[in-house]
Amino acid sequence: MSEPLIEMDGVEKDYVSGPSVVRALRDVSLRIDAGDMAAIVGTSGSGKSTLMNIIGCLDRPTRGIYRLQGIDVGRRSNDARAIVRNQLIGFIFQGFNLLARTTAQENVELPLIYRGVGSRERRDRALAALEQVGLGTRAHHTPNQLSGGQQQRVAIARALVTDPPLLLADEPTGNLDTRTSYEVLSLLQRLNRERKITIIIVTHERDIAECARRVITVRDGLIKSDLVNEEQRDAHRMLSELGPPPP
């Protein structure tokens, strides 16, 4: 069995809302092994975003234990969690979050700047990451010169450039059409399969979740089901079934 990358034991999260307390997560216990590909799925208000924020070290639990690669991050300060986040997690967002006036290469270099990596190494690593996502020839294009799918690939390259063990994708296909969504999912599946990167996709769409090997359903702050997906959908095959793209 693989070593656990993520371990949660009795995790709960409360938010104070006026005179009342909202329990966003309730007694969540979870284990995700290194190299897994899981989807966290749920409707708006289910608690999946709160769970994502804790997994991503953007927030910490009110109660319970959260360990990431053996580190008890749930008890760490904001600054200490930021260091763990920078070292271990690559983020992919629905809105791409690219800087509009900088090139694809410069966008991908940003996490390395925060690490203090020198300019030559930053450039080389950014170009290598863009090659991995099929955008080696678009390194000097700005976001407004790229399609939505290409922008998301730049965002994936930015997440990959630090070689993190975990990619956390928040609604990564939410702003994309069907064909482009399958292209992005196919890329994520390939990265998981070939590079053994642990990938967690947070989504409200069941068909997107079915591209993961494991589907975790969240409702009312609880994990309602955690199932191995015996019929994992192959995004590359689904893409080929759409036929050639329109001219």
pLDDT in 10s for each residue of the chain, 247 residues: 457 899 999 999 999 888 889 999 999 999 999 999 999 999 989 999 999 999 999 999 999 999 999 999 988 888 999 889 989 999 998 888 999 999 999 999 999 998 889 999 999 999 999 999 999 999 999 999 999 999 999 999 999 999 999 999 999 998 889 999 999 999 999 999 999 999 999 999 999 999 999 999 999 999 999 999 988 999 999 988 888 777 7
Q: What are the sequence ranges of the domains in the chain?
A: 36-61+77-241
Class of domain 36-61+77-241: alpha beta
Q: Is the pTM of this model over 0.85?
A: yes
Can you say whether the dihedral through the CA atoms of 188, 148, 155, 42 is positive or negative?
negative
Radius of gyration from C-alpha coordinates of the chain: 18
Residue 123 tokens read as 């450039």
Tokens of 149: 């799918």
